[in-house]
Amino acid sequence: MAAFNRIEEIWHAPVTVQDFENAETKTSFNSEISFENVSFQYKNAEYKALQNIDLVIPKGKIIALVGSSGSGKTTLTDMVLRFMDPTEGRILFDGTEIKNIKVGSLRSLITLVSQEPTLFNDSIRNNISFSSSIYTDEQIKQAAEAANAWEFIQASENQLDTNIGDRGMKLSGGQRQRLTIARAILKNPPILILDEATSALDSESEKLVQEALHRLMIGRTTIVIAHRLATIQHANIICVMKNGMIIEKGTHESLIKLEGEYAKFVSMQGLQ
């Protein structure tokens, strides 16, 4: 009964982000995402989660967000997905304020690969394709191969028809993550958000997942949240966040020369 009541509570919870009147549908991403003096404060919070963020994310570039827990990294990416709207400032998507874009069409252009994969008590096929009938088994196989997942799928009892259990518990952490990457490859989005996608994996699994992520990132606009700096050294722009602000911004090499916060992180992790 308690579980049912909780489901009812979630089902009837107010939707805080809704389509504005005359909001437009976006079917492509053509130039850039811009944060213009964006601040955000959660309800009843004492401090702002984001403060005066100015950031341009150009099409096809890799943007990395680094910083300690609570620095605002996830809040920033949540705003790209429009899970909430800025308290101050605005976010532009190809020059259009994000509030004036239909939420569903915006999110259809973005795929999130997070630390905890979202999987269902269903077959491998349906978990990769989200049960969509528009994809053929050959397309699903190709996506799985690109995600370094096909080998373990082939070895499974029923291959694509193998049930993976509740939240994918019949699979290892690395296998679960590779299925979510296969799903992203199949969807083929122009924008990718990676939120600590390899942080919970052992070294062998991390290598396979990282290889798959590199394939997924090719030609896409990618925002990466990472604690392991070795995975983001080749990002086009690295933003160092602290207390909701971007305190340093540049390439790996330029930030090392700055000898600031990023250089401290690099030194702590034994990188150069």
Residues 183-240: tens digit of each pLDDT: 988 988 999 998 877 666 666 777 887 788 888 888 899 999 987 777 788 899 999 9
Burial of 98 (0-12, 13-18, 19+ CB in 10 A): buried
Identify the three-state secondary structure at position 235.
coil
Q: Is the pLDDT assigned to residue 10 strictly greater than 50?
A: no
Instruction: Match 């062998």 to its residue by tokens.
Output: 204
130 falls within a domain: yes
Sequence-ordered list of residues with C-beta below 8 angstroms from that of 115, at least 6 positions apart, any chain: 195, 196, 197, 199, 200
Task: Count other Cβ atoms within 10 Å, centred on residue 56.
Answer: 14
Sheet holding 96-97, edge to edge: 50-58, 32-40, 88-93, 96-97
Amino acid 38: pLDDT: 96
Q: Report H helices in 23-172.
A: 73-80, 103-107, 124-129, 137-146, 150-155
3 falls within a domain: no
175 falls within a domain: yes
- How many structural domains comprise the chain? 1
236 falls within a domain: no
148 falls within a domain: yes
180 falls within a domain: yes
Instruction: Name the residue with higher pLDDT: 4 or 132.
Output: 132
106 falls within a domain: no
Secondary-structure percent of the chain, ordered helix, strand, coil, rounded to 5: 40, 25, 40
271 falls within a domain: no
Instruction: Read off the pLDDT of residues 25-70 as tens digits, 9 standing for 90 and up.
Output: 999 999 999 999 999 999 888 889 999 999 999 999 999 999 888 8
* Range(s) of the domain holding residue 164: 122-188
Amino acid 5: pLDDT: 55
